[in-house]
Structure 1
């Protein structure tokens, strides 16, 4: 009779740990404005950024998201592109 509640607790704890492990990158502060823009993007937007980055198609460029930064637009775009190399 005690096996069912214990099993439920163990499975719940395992599910919580798995969820925490998946989102651990989102918990630490961004190292740069480019990384902040990445984490502020939705999963769909991230997928689109990576697809455009991998395609290297001038007709379908990577859309650089807007994000509060002290960098110039060119510096931010360069940093975002470098960050895409890492994430994609």
Structure 2
């Protein structure tokens, strides 16, 4: 019984140390910043490692699709505005 108590105590200590060592999941803001940085190709290695270790691929894919869609819509709107001022 004493061994079980020591094992359980060791298990609790190792679990608490695991929580200290492991960084938390990236927030939505951090993931959006990572997606924008990836679009420009300027992601730093620390954030990239965090994203690959703790991030969820589905969230990054979804954010990427949303950001690219917004970017394309802004380009289309800009072209339409410029074309409306062009002589016919």
Give the TM-score range, shorter chain: 0.3 to 0.5
Q: TM-score, normalised by structure 1?
A: 0.40
Largest Rg, 1 or 2 = 2
Q: TM-score, normalised by structure 2?
A: 0.40
